[in-house]
Amino acid sequence: TLPTIFVITPTYTRPVQKAELTRLANTFLHVQNLHWVVVEDSPRRTNLVSNLLEKAGLNFTHLNVETPKSLKLGLSWIPSHTPRGTLQRNLGLHWLRDSFSNTAPPEGVVYFADDDNTYSLELFEEILSDNFNKPPHFQAIAMDGKTRQEIGGEIGIDKDKDESVRESTCMSVKLECMEMMRYTRRVSVWPVAFVGGLRYESPKVSPAGKVVGWKTVFDPNRPFAIDMAGFAISIKLILEKPHASFKLEGVKGGYQETSLLKDLVTMDGLEPKAANCTKVLVWHTRTERPTLVNEGKRGFTDPRVEV
């Protein structure tokens, strides 16, 4: 079977929450072998989220942990220091480690997907052709331990030798397969749009296909100058390093991702995805807060209607 993608999504109650989660569910319904770990920032699991998850038709786990007021207030002098979703992501990691402490873990990855971002299906599958419905075929290659370059070379040779187009197509499908985040060996990385004051930020990839730095304006010397939406971690690595988690204290703005990743990998262990980090497949969009100034006037609106 295909390796599993565990998606950890922190979420909190606000007017647009159901819209955000509906959009996310609709995206994830198109992705094979996905397990959605939704972690509410709330004192208890809410009916709104419970019902949405029950109806969505996805494999899911529903958790909650409330960010203490003290934590929000205590650090809120500097807005970027206020932890947003941090405890929730850590609980998701804890759930994963707990779930596979006695049973053998599945092959797969963890991906942190905030509820307001926009995700291309290509981020998860990288290929949407008819050829895609042949997972076991792909897996053989992925498990071979071949590198992108090796497989890429074979495609070139196939074409030079003028072998059948079918064979060449088959190879390119295998190549695409290697690109999928679910085949991450340790940590894979890719560009994210609308972060750091840029159209997009990206890992810097050498001609040899290695990550050698960060194409960012904001503090490119960070050990991992990458947004939360720009990486996935193998389950194996998460279980091998049981103490790795997002830090709450002493984390400078923009260092949240580093606080986890530095305990898991070094830069040369990173695997570039999204066509060697040349494609933007995820956007750090932010949803406008709706105007509700007329709420409560003239008996509007019906509070029994869930929005």
Binding mask 262-301 for Mn ion (x = CB under 5 A): ----------------------------------------
Task: List contacts with ligand UDP (CB under 6 A).
Answer: 9-12, 41, 67, 84-85, 88, 114-116, 286
* Rounded least distance, CB 6 to ligand UDP, Å: 16
Least distance (Å) between residue 229 CB and Mn ion? 9
**257 touches, from ligand UDP, Mn ion, none (C-beta below 5 to 8 Å by class):** none
- Judge whether 150 counts as a catalytic residue: no
Q: Which is nearer to ligand UDP, 86 or 202 (CB)?
A: 86
Which residue in 6, 22, 33 sits closest to 111, CA to CA? 6
Instruction: Pick one of ligand UDP, Mn ion, none as the site partner of residue 199 (Cβ within 5 to 8 A by kind).
Output: none
> Which residue's beta carbon is nearest to the bound Mn ion?
116
Q: Which residues pair with 214 in a beta bridge?
A: 203
Work out what residue 115 binds among Mn ion, ligand UDP, none; the CB cut-off runs from 5 to 8 Å by kind: ligand UDP
Binding-site residue numbers for Mn(2+) are 116
Rounded distance, CA 285 to CA 117, Å? 5
Q: Least distance in Å: CB of 47 to ligand UDP?
A: 18
CB–CB of 34/4 below 8 Å? Answer: yes
| Binding-site residues | 10-12, 41, 84, 89, 114-116, 284-286
Of these residues, 257, 271, 288, 295, which one is catalytic?
257
- Which of positions 78-117 make contact with Mn ion (CB under 5 A)? 114, 116
Residue 128 half-sphere exposure toward CB, CA atoms < 13 A: 7
Task: Burial-class residue 108 by CB neighbours within 10 Å (0-12, 13-18, 19+).
Answer: buried
Q: Alpha-carbon distance 24 to 79, whole Å?
A: 26
**Alpha helices for 13-85 (secondary structure H):** 17-28, 47-56, 69-74
3 binds, among Mn ion, ligand UDP, none (CB under 5 to 8 A by kind): none
Beta bridge partners of 119: 282
Rounded to a whole number of angstroms, the minimum distance from the CB of residue 176 to ligand UDP is 29
Residue among 116 and 154 whose Cβ is closer to Mn ion = 116
Distance CA 237, CA 305 (A): 44
Q: How far is CA 174 from CA 137, 146, 185, 205, in A?
A: 8, 11, 16, 21
Name which of Mn ion, ligand UDP, none residue 10 binds, using a CB cut-off of 5 to 8 Å depending on partner kind: ligand UDP
Per-residue CA distances from 40 to 21, 92, 232, 304 (Å)? 11, 10, 21, 22
Q: Which two tokens stand for residue 203?
A: 């890992």
Cβ at position 81, least distance to ligand UDP in Å? 12
Q: Judging by DSSP bridges, how do beta strands 118-119 and 108-112 pair with one another?
A: unpaired
- Using CB under 5 A as the binding criterion, the count of chain residues that bind Mn ion stands at 2
- Based on CB atoms, which residue is closest to ligand UDP, 131 or 287? 287
Name which of 79 and 136 has its Cβ closer to ligand UDP.
79
Residues forming the site for Mn ion (CB under 5 A): 114, 116
**Active site members:** 257
